[in-house]
Structure 1
Amino acid sequence: MGAMMQKSPPTQVEQEFARGRRRFGRWRAEFPYHWDADEFVSRRELLRLAVMTSGALFAATAGIAALNYVKPLRTASRQLIAPAPAVPPGGVHYFQYPTAEDSAILLHLPDGRFVAYSGKCTHLSCAVYHDQQSGNLLCPCHDGAFDSRTGAPIAGPPQRPLPRITLSQEGSNIYAVEEVPQ
């Protein structure tokens, strides 16, 4: 038999042809000319980048939204609010808790129980006050109303109840123990 032919290394044109087939598919292999724009992003790569960016933005938005619903329990040191006889049944006492910048409301309900809530509306953090006529807690900013017994919203745009402040009574004194977000 004759001598075996050795395969010579591929020429530059053959290398470009093979590279074009892998990167750009059949149409590029059939059109093996070098363009200055060969290094730019292909439509497929651009679409892949757009999909990945959209997915990352969606995940980040979902994560931020989820963090708004997960609120840590804030505990503060025990604080004297008022002596119980100083707040008659149906009466109200305004105080600052857990810091001097945070307003809060202590209510002595007609049934004899004491309840305390954060003084900020859960809609846009406007100041909440007790209305003697209706017996409810009202927010003047957008006509929001909260049930004074439970802190639940009963009118207006607020969707969440007022954060309740846990109380303890020792002797005739009422103490705020912690704020519980709801």
Structure 2
Amino acid sequence: MSFRLVARQLSSRLQQHVAAAAAIAPSRSTLVRCYASAQSYESPLQDFFNRMEQKGPTTLGSTDLTPPPERYLDCGIPESALRYSTTSYGRLMLVPHVHVNEHKVSVKIHTSKLPLNELEMNLLHEIVGSRLNFEKEELRISSNQFASRIENKRHLVSMLNRIVFACQRLAKEIGKVEEGAV
């Protein structure tokens, strides 16, 4: 077959499809009636849209669009300072079908966000060891104890709370010992 013959056949098929679509499509008067009924619709958010156009405050009655307040861990670290990371692996063909480190979760936090003084930071370094990187000024801990990322994340938060509280408690005890020795 030549190219022209194929082009004519495609053109005639296209014309047939357009004619069929025109027969199915609603008439102009039906579209006008639908548009007229849409014009009578009043949006419950119309006041909000009007204030947006006027560049005014855009709060909806009782709905408050302000961001939620900052949340803190029990030890005083803001949750926004925690940076969680995990890795996703493809499914394995052999049993148990899950990679060994599939549920491992790590968290890192900048040392300036820790509510610790200099003595407490030294104690922190003694407790966590190489997990505290002084060059990058960050603490990185990880958990792979549970078979769920959510549980590992909760475990990390619990460990972080316990570490900070332990540093603060030990610093107080050291301070008491030094006062008694002086």
- Which TM-score band applies after superposition, normalised by the shorter structure? under 0.3
Structure with greater helix percent: 2
Structure with greater strand percent: 1
**TM-score normalised to the size of structure 1?**
0.18
**TM-score normalised to the size of structure 2?**
0.18
- The structure with the largest alpha-carbon Rg is 1
